Chains A and B, each alone.
Chain A
Amino acid sequence: MTEYTPSTAGTLSKSDCLAVYRPSKEPVSVTVRSSVGRLFGRSIEDTAKSMLGVFGVKTGLLEIDDDGALNLVLSARIETTLRLAGFELNISLPERDRTFSAAKIQREPSAKQLPRRARLYIPGNQPNLMINADLFGADTLIFDLEDSVPPERKLEARILVRYMLSDTHLFRESELAVRINPIDSSCGREDLEEIVNSRPQAIVLPKCESARDIQVLDAELARLEAREGLPLGSILILPLIETAAGVLAAKEIAAASPRNAALCFGYEDFISDIHSSAGERSLRSASTPANHDGEMPHSSSQPEALLAKQMIVLAARAAGIDPLDSVISDTEDKEALRSSCEEARVLGMSGKAVIYPVQIPTVKSAFHPSEEEIMQAKAIVEAYERSVVEGKGTAALGDTMIDVPVVERAWRLLNDYRIGD
């Protein structure tokens, strides 16, 4: 007979619950304490019992201490604690898909060419931050399993993310991505094992340093897509370059897989990797405490990262994909955020990461052409078209000659504008 171990999952915080399993020889029983017990006590108990059934638990005690967790959070926490205790899923794969709603997920694969102006990072183990994450207008939502999750919480986070991705009521607007742990760690592969059947649209691969990293991830995704019956190549990759080695390999990384949809820069890890003193400087001047990523506020001008950013822009553009800038963590300073976005746009970046939803409108509008730019682009295109009709070899706007690249840029801007909303 298998020996099961006492186990715990989740936290006793708002919209979360603590699920504790205590092995014993007694027939299995459930106790529920909940701040919403009068309204959902029976429902919580039903969920617990059905999970015990799915995992074939016959003995022991399951204790739920709940502070208003949604049903999917309860299920995730209970599944985690039972798996930690040593139980395994007691049902077949198709039955699993029916039980865990994966088969019901009506989510189309994401398109490579999407505006990803604002991508919002959400810590992968905090239900109260995840529940409304789709409402803030982010182009891409990234559930983070890497830096925001401590090592001992990786399993419960990836199970929680799997349940979240499976919920088509909570998530229907933004593109859905998951930042897994680095692919050369067992953790990264376990992340993929767990989440692929819940159909993430993209995987953010952190600490990406070589084409091989991408190829390994690509192969792993292909294997899992086949296993889960998903179209081959449907899950995109967003490589995150945040080391010196990564920057130097940017060109190869960008071209390493057709799944690559954009190249992302990670500032904080990068300056630490190159031994820049910029981090300490911003630490000393920091007026706000570290955010959940452990990243510190920094000023908008970043000479220490200029070359890296430019190499990423070159690599991405050469491969025909968008380069995307790192986060700025100072929430209060809207002006700093706006000028940081404008600098990135000047460099050729197409978007920025954010960690506070309140930053999203500013970032989206900063990466959106301004009214003035649009007017000017229209004028250029009109002037060019007029010159073609009139059979002139050159076009001019006022006194300024218009070259072909200028016209192309104007075309692209108008085109991008139609892509964006």
Chain B
Amino acid sequence: MEWKTNALGRAIPLKIEGRKLVPFAGAFADPTGAAIAASKDISTQSGKKKLRPVPWRGKPDKLTKSWDDLFDRLDIHDGATISFHHHLRDGDAIVLEVVKRLAERGIRNLTLAPSALFSVHDALVPYIRAGVITKIEGSMNGAVGAACSRGEMPKTCVLRSHGGRQRAIQDGDLKIDVAFIAAPCADAFGNANGLYGKSACGPLGYPKPDSEYADKVTVITDNLVSYPCLPWAICGSNVDYVLQVESIGDSSKIVSGTTRLTRSPTQLLIADLTARFIEAAGLMHEGFSFQAGAGGISLAATVFLAERMRRAGVKASFAHGGATKVLVDLLKEGLLSSIVDLQSFDLDAVRSCAENPSHVASDPFISYGPRSAGCVASMLDVAILGATEIDLGFNVNVVTHSDGLLLHGTGGHSDAAASAGCTIITAPSFRKRIPIVREEVTTVTCPGEVVDVLVTERGIAINPRREDLLERAKKADLPCIKISELLHDVREITGAPELPRFKDRVVAMIEWRDGSIIDVVREIESI
């Protein structure tokens, strides 16, 4: 047996039972980490983040003095991938601040990996034109999406759902150099949550995968509290640096969700039909669960569904997705046993998430993870979702408009659709003059395979795959219509739209949850 002395002069065998032994070199020398970092096998393995050396004794110094100090320590290079999250929604000030400062430092060719963008981020367009940002992976909305459609982004972008983004990070398809996490509440160690402070937003789930897999993780807060910041939605053990700033965003736009019921008669009609359908289809049974967004139709559908639950004496086990005052009130009333919340839309929801143990904060892996052993969405009996277009095969588009412009992100749409027991799309059959029902959607983001029902103001179209649902809806005298007839009816009203004209160049690819490409978006011809 061969022996070697370690740093303390103790004799250590070089190998025992096949295992190569690394001699102790000092409490913080970390020879094993250095070996792993040096090994080609592992450092080239995608998905593995760069190893941090074993920390020195005592309290780590993560708190940076200023933006410049932060960027000096981060040492970001041209071509880096930086990630952001949309829990501050239209109130977010961090994305623009970071991009502006990196541009000033002369950094170019960045890939942005936001979980979603809002109209406040339209101001990114000049940085795209200047070559500071050359690619986006994740989600594109508004002016940024339009710029991508016009071919202004030099590289091909990638669009993913919330679950798909988490999977891409986990699988190593999306390698993040630096994650910037805007935190409404954090300590100097990097523990953070979204529940407290002037910028409180509710759950802080979207940045979770980034915090676990990005090479460097930065928490930026306008509410530095003493250690430990509890609860820690983001665990400081995953965080390298913390920066305290005056403000991370405009709180009036962070929780701006209006819980006032829509006054649009058409939206109310669709919502009413949706609730009627859910009851008639037998989905509204004791202990059932549902997901409905915070849009006008979804919110009204939730209200109408609750009326039916009350009348029928039925309680739901949980509601999933975005939380609003409407859901919080149902939780208090006892019509809901719990809320699994990925994003709070108003202050009532933020407060409830902080105070009510039955209102639990979730993250993309737990809610939608494609590599999970089942996610919260898998437990849903019904999901109520929107669409910009739906076609005769029930394929759905949520990212482009019929004129070919990329204007929305996918959000949790495909994850919820592919997981829930019954997927209902609610939409007006035409908006202004633009039909929602098409022969073929402009872009497929979700296959008809997982879409069961379309509810419009001109009738309910049920995927022929779901004969069970069709039978029940007909029995309940609901206005059922074949989707081809609906297409015909709408055409009679709107006329047939021209098809958008595209160039050959692909500007963005749409990833299905598993990483396969379900469709591509091409550059639009200018008019």
Chain A residues with CB under 8 Å of chain B are: 14-15, 35-43, 67-71, 131-132, 135-136, 169-170, 331, 356-358
Contacts and interface: CB of A to CB of B under 8 A. Distances in A.
Contacts of B403: 36, 38-39
Nearest to B429: A132
A40 B492 contact: no
Contacts of B434: 36, 39, 68
B498 A40 contact: yes
B265 A35 contact: no
12 contacts: A38-B403, A40-B433, A67-B432, A68-B431, A68-B432, A68-B433, A70-B493, A136-B269, A331-B263, A356-B265, A357-B269, A358-B265
B49 to A, nearest CB: 44
A35 B494 CA distance: 14
A114 B265 CA distance: 25
B460 to A, nearest CB: 13
B237 to A, nearest CB: 51
Interface of B: 263, 265-266, 268-269, 402-404, 431-434, 457-458, 489, 492-495, 497-498, 500, 527
B497 A39 contact: yes
Given A38-B498, A135-B457, A169 B432 contact: no
A14 B493 contact: no
Given A15-B432, A70-B493, A169-B492, A38 B527 contact: yes
Contacts of A36: 403, 432-434, 497
The 3 A-B residue pairs with the shortest CB-CB distance in the complex, in nearest-first order:
A68-B432, A39-B497, A357-B265
Interface centre among B265, B266, B497 (most CB of A within 10 A): B265
Interface centre among A14, A40, A356 (most CB of B within 10 A): A40
Given A36-B432, A40-B495, 4 more contacts: A42-B498, A70-B433, A70-B493, A71-B495
Nearest to A359: B265
B265 A39 contact: no
A255 to B, nearest CB: 37
B177 to A, nearest CB: 38
Contacts of A170: 493
A132 B428 CA distance: 10
Contacts of B432: 14-15, 35-36, 67-68
Contacts of A35: 432
Interface centre among A42, A132, A357 (most CB of B within 10 A): A132
Nearest to B265: A357
A38 B266 contact: no
B500 A38 contact: yes
Contacts of A132: 265-266, 269, 457
Contact of A39 (B266, B457, B458, B500): B500
A132 B268 CA distance: 12
B213 to A, nearest CB: 40
A35 B489 CA distance: 23
Interface centre among A39, A69, A358 (most CB of B within 10 A): A39
Contacts of B433: 15, 36, 39-40, 68-70
Contacts of A43: 495, 498
A142 to B, nearest CB: 15
A90 to B, nearest CB: 24
Nearest to B456: A135
B440 to A, nearest CB: 14
Nearest to A135: B457
A38 to B, nearest CB: 4
Nearest to B527: A38
B498 A169 contact: no
A169 B489 contact: yes
B279 to A, nearest CB: 16
Contacts of B402: 39
Nearest to A73: B433
A371 to B, nearest CB: 15
A39 B433 CA distance: 9
A131 B493 CA distance: 9
A35 B493 CA distance: 18
B266 A135 contact: yes
A40 to B, nearest CB: 6
Contacts of A38: 403-404, 498, 500, 527
A14 B402 CA distance: 17
Given A68-B432, A136-B265, A358-B265, A40 B497 contact: yes
A119 to B, nearest CB: 15
B467 to A, nearest CB: 27
A63 to B, nearest CB: 18
A67 B432 CA distance: 7
Contacts of B495: 40, 43, 70-71
Contacts of A131: 493
A162 to B, nearest CB: 18
Nearest to B489: A169
